[in-house]
C-alpha cells in the first residue's frame, strides 16, 4: 500500500493568529497578542496519521523561516498533500506561497482552510478567484470533519470529492457546497500531534514557558454583529467532555512537560455546570497547572470564578468592546456597561488578572463614543488591554449592514481595517487606536503597578520588549 505524505503549514510571512478561523489578528500590529500553538495543523496531522500518512508540521513565521526554506522543505519531503491554514489578512502573501508550491510540486495537492473559505459564495469569486486559483481544494467549515472523509477516500478522487464542506474544481469551475462541515462530537478528535509541533515556540509571555492550547468547545449562541463565530462554528455550543480534556492535559504534562494552558473556546464560561465539572476534575486529579480562558461578561458569577482560580486559572479575558450602552445594544452584545464593571470587579476580587478587549469605529460611532470606550478601559484598569478596530468581515451582520459591500482583501483589525464607517477614514481609526493604547499603557499608575509585579529578569525583559513594541506602534507614522 502506498504511503502518502501530508505537510501542514503556516506559510512564510508575517505572523497572524491563523489557528482560530474567527480571529484575524496580525500579531506584528498587536500590543499584547502572542502566537498560539498551531493546533489546527496538529489536528490535521493527527487525523492524517490515522490513515497511514506520514505527517509533517512547519510553522514558518514562528520558526523565522522564509520562502527559500519552504522550497527546500518541499524538495526534501515531496509531500502528496500540502495543507495550508490561511487567513483574510494574509491572503495576498499566501497566494505567492500557493504559486511557488505549484511550481515546485505540480502534482502536489494543495488544500486550504480559513474563514474566507467558510464564507465564500459564488458572488465572491470575481474578487477571490485570482488568489485561490493555484489551490486544488479548500474547506468550508471545520477542516477536521472534511479531511477525515477526504483522506479516508484519498485514492479515489470521485469519492474524496464528496467529503463534507469540500470546495473543489470541476471542469475548471469552483464548486462551493451550501453546508459547512461540522463535528458534532468533539471527543472523537485525536489530540493534536504535538510531537510534530515546536512547542517551545508557543510561550506564556510573562514566563517564557511553553503554553499549549486546549480546544475546549466550539460555537457561540450570541448575536454580536461583528463576529464570524456563528457563521463558522454555529450558534450551538459543542463541548468536549471534562474527561477528554483531562486526558489531553495529562498527555501534555507527561509527554511534553507543559503545565501552562490556554483553554480555547468561543466563550468558555457560558455554561457554569460544564466549567465547574472541568474544574472539579482538575482538582480531583490534583493536576497542577496554570491556565487562561476567555469569557463573556454575562452570564458570570463569583462561584464560577472562584472555582476557576482554585483549579489553576490566573487570567481571564473579557470581550468588553465598548463604554457606551448604546453601542453595545447596536452591536447586539447582550451585555451592558454595568455588566462589564461587575464581572471585572468580581474577577479582581477573586484574584484573577484581567485582559480586556475593546472595539473602536463602528458605523454609528462618533468621537464621543470612541472617547467613552477609551475612558472606560482606563476606568476598568485591566491588567492588559487590546483595542480592535471594528472590521466588517464578509458574512457578518456588520458587513451586510454597511452601504459599501467592497471586499477588502488583506483586512485585519489591527493594521488594515475595512472601510466600515463614513464618519472616519481608515487612517483616523488607526490614529484613534494609537491614542487608546497611549492613554491606557503610558499612565504612570499603570507603569508603576506593572513594575511592582516584576519578580525576575525574564519578566523584566518581557516588559521591556512589549514596552518598546507599544512605543513603536504609538509613534508609527
The domain spanning residue 342 has which CATH number?
A: 3.20.20.70
- 373 with 422, same domain: the answer is yes
How confident is the model over 218-243, as pLDDT tens digits? 999 999 999 999 888 989 999 999 99
Report the alpha-carbon distance of residue 314 to residue 352 in Å, rounded: 5
**Cα atoms in the 13 Å half-sphere on the side-chain side of 140:** 20
Domain's final residue, options 138, 156, 175: 175
- 218 with 358, same domain: the answer is yes
- 220 with 352, same domain: the answer is yes
Task: Please report how the helices 337-350 and 302-310 are oriented relative to each other, as an axis angle in degrees rounded to 10.
Answer: 40
Please, are residues 306 and 350 in contact by the beta-carbon 8 Å criterion? yes
- CATH classification of the domain holding 170: 3.40.50.280
Q: Is residue 454 part of a domain?
A: no
Q: Is residue 195 part of a domain?
A: no
Which pLDDT tens digits describe the chain residue by residue (477 residues)? 568 999 999 999 999 889 888 777 788 888 888 889 999 999 999 999 999 999 999 999 999 999 999 999 999 999 999 999 998 889 999 999 999 999 999 999 999 999 999 999 998 888 899 999 999 999 999 999 999 999 999 999 999 999 999 999 999 899 999 999 999 999 999 999 999 999 999 999 888 899 999 999 999 999 999 999 988 898 999 999 999 999 999 999 999 999 999 999 988 999 999 999 999 999 999 999 999 999 999 999 999 999 999 999 999 999 999 999 999 999 999 999 999 999 999 999 999 999 999 999 999 999 999 999 999 999 999 999 999 999 988 889 998 888 666 677 888 888 888 888 888 998 999 999 999 999 999 999 999 998 888 888 888 888 888 888 888 888 876
**R_g of the chain, CA atoms, integer Å:** 22
Q: What are the counts of helices (DSSP H) followed by strands (DSSP E) for the chain?
A: 18, 15
Domain enclosing residue 389, as ranges:
203-441
Domain's final residue, options 156, 175, 194: 175
Predicted local confidence at residue 404, as pLDDT: 65
Report the alpha-carbon distance of residue 55 to residue 365 in Å, rounded: 48
Report the alpha-carbon distance of residue 260 to residue 289 in Å, rounded: 6
Report the alpha-carbon distance of residue 177 to residue 85 in Å, rounded: 19
Please, are residues 80 and 5 in contact by the beta-carbon 8 Å criterion? yes
- 93 with 169, same domain: the answer is yes
Return the H-helix or E-strand segment holding 320.
Answer: strand 313-321
Please, are residues 313 and 338 in contact by the beta-carbon 8 Å criterion? no
- 408 with 318, same domain: the answer is yes
Predicted local confidence at residue 389, as pLDDT: 94
Q: Is residue 458 part of a domain?
A: no
Q: Is residue 316 part of a domain?
A: yes
- Written as one string, the DSSP assignment of 243-275 is HHHHHHHHHHHHHH---EEEEE-SSTTS-HHHH
- 171 with 210, same domain: the answer is no
**What's the pTM value of the predicted model, to 2 decimals?**
0.95
Report the alpha-carbon distance of residue 154 to residue 146 in Å, rounded: 12
- Residue 417's nearest CA partner among 405, 429, 406 is 429
- Written as one string, the DSSP assignment of 108-142 is PEEEEESHHHHT--GGGHHHHHHHHTT-SEEESB-
Take residue 448 and report the three cell numbers written for it.
508603576
Query: How buried is residue 351: exposed, middle or buried, by Cβ count under 10 Å (0-12/13-18/19+)?
Result: exposed
- Written as one string, the DSSP assignment of 210-223 is BEEEEE-EE-----
Please, are residues 392 and 385 in contact by the beta-carbon 8 Å criterion? no
- 119 with 53, same domain: the answer is yes
Q: Is residue 467 part of a domain?
A: no
The one-character DSSP state at 26 is B
Take residue 371 and report the three cell numbers written for it.
472617547
- 152 with 210, same domain: the answer is no
Strands across the sheet with 260-264, in order?
211-215, 260-264, 290-295, 313-321, 353-360, 384-389
Report the alpha-carbon distance of residue 300 to residue 304 in Å, rounded: 7
- 145 with 259, same domain: the answer is no
Report the alpha-carbon distance of residue 85 to residue 139 in Å, rounded: 10
- 169 with 233, same domain: the answer is no
Report the alpha-carbon distance of residue 230 to residue 397 in Å, rounded: 11
Q: Is residue 451 part of a domain?
A: no
- 293 with 343, same domain: the answer is yes
Q: Is residue 472 part of a domain?
A: no
- 123 with 250, same domain: the answer is no
How many domains in the chain? 2
Q: Is residue 455 part of a domain?
A: no
Long-range own/partner contacts, residues 396-404 (CB < 8 A, 24 or more apart): 396/225, 396/226, 396/227, 396/228, 396/231, 397/223, 397/225, 397/226, 397/332, 398/225, 398/226, 398/331, 398/362, 398/363, 401/225, 401/363, 402/363
Amino acid at each position: 500500500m502506498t504511503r502518502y505524505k501530508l505537510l501542514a503549514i503556516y506559510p512564510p510571512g508575517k505572523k497572524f493568529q491563523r489557528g482560530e478561523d474567527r480571529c484575524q489578528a496580525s500579531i506584528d500590529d498587536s500590543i499584547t497578542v502572542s502566537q498560539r500553538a498551531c493546533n489546527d495543523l496538529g489536528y490535521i496531522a493527527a487525523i492524517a496519521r490515522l490513515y497511514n500518512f506520514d505527517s509533517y508540521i512547519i510553522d514558518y513565521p514562528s520558526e523565522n523561516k522564509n520562502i527559500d526554506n519552504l522550497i527546500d522543505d518541499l524538495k526534501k519531503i515531496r509531500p502528496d498533500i500540502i495543507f495550508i491554514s490561511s487567513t483574510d489578512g494574509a491572503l495576498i502573501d499566501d497566494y505567492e506561497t500557493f504559486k511557488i508550491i505549484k511550481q515546485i510540486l505540480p502534482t502536489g495537492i494543495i488544500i486550504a482552510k480559513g474563514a474566507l473559505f467558510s464564507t465564500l459564495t459564488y458572488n465572491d469569486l470575481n474578487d477571490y478567484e485570482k488568489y485561490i486559483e493555484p489551490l486544488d481544494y479548500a474547506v468550508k467549515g471545520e477542516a477536521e470533519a472534511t479531511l477525515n472523509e477526504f483522506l479516508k477516500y484519498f485514492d479515489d478522487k470521485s469519492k474524496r470529492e464528496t467529503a463534507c464542506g469540500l470546495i473543489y474544481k470541476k471542469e475548471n469551475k469552483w464548486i462551493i457546497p451550501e453546508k459547512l462541515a461540522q463535528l458534532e462530537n468533539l471527543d472523537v478528535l485525536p489530540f493534536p500531534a504535538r510531537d510534530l509541533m515546536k512547542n517551545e515556540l508557543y510561550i506564556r509571555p510573562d514566563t517564557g514557558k511553553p503554553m499549549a492550547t486546549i480546544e475546549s468547545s466550539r460555537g457561540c449562541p450570541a448575536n454580536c454583529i461583528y463576529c464570524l463565530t456563528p457563521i463558522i462554528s454555529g450558534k450551538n455550543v459543542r463541548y468536549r467532555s471534562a474527561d477528554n480534556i483531562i486526558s489531553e492535559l495529562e498527555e501534555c504534562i507527561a509527554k511534553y512537560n507543559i503545565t501552562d494552558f490556554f483553554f480555547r473556546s468561543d466563550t468558555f464560561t457560558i455554561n457554569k455546570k460544564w466549567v465547574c465539572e472541568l474544574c472539579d476534575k482538575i482538582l480531583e486529579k490534583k493536576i497542577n497547572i496554570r491556565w487562561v480562558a476567555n469569557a463573556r461578561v454575562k452570564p458570570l458569577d463569583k462561584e464560577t470564578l472562584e472555582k476557576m482560580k482554585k483549579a489553576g486559572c490566573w487570567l481571564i479575558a473579557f470581550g468588553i468592546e465598548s463604554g457606551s450602552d448604546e453601542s453595545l445594544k447596536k452591536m447586539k452584545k447582550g451585555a451592558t456597561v454595568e455588566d462589564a464593571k461587575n464581572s471585572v470587579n468580581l474577577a479582581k476580587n477573586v484574584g484573577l488578572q484581567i485582559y480586556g478587549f475593546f472595539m473602536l469605529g463602528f458605523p454609528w460611532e462618533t468621537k464621543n463614543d470612541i472617547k467613552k470606550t477609551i475612558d472606560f478601559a482606563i476606568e476598568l484598569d485591566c491588567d492588559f488591554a487590546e483595542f480592535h478596530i471594528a472590521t466588517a468581515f464578509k458574512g457578518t451582520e456588520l458587513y451586510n449592514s454597511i452601504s459599501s459591500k467592497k471586499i477588502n482583501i488583506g483586512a485585519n483589525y489591527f493594521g488594515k481595517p475595512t472601510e466600515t464607517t463614513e464618519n472616519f477614514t481608515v487612517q483616523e481609526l488607526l490614529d484613534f487606536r494609537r491614542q487608546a493604547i497611549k492613554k491606557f499603557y503610558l499612565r504612570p499608575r499603570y507603569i508603576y503597578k506593572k513594575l511592582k509585579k516584576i519578580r525576575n529578569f525574564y519578566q523584566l525583559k518581557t516588559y521591556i520588549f512589549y514596552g518598546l513594541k507599544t512605543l513603536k506602534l504609538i509613534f508609527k507614522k
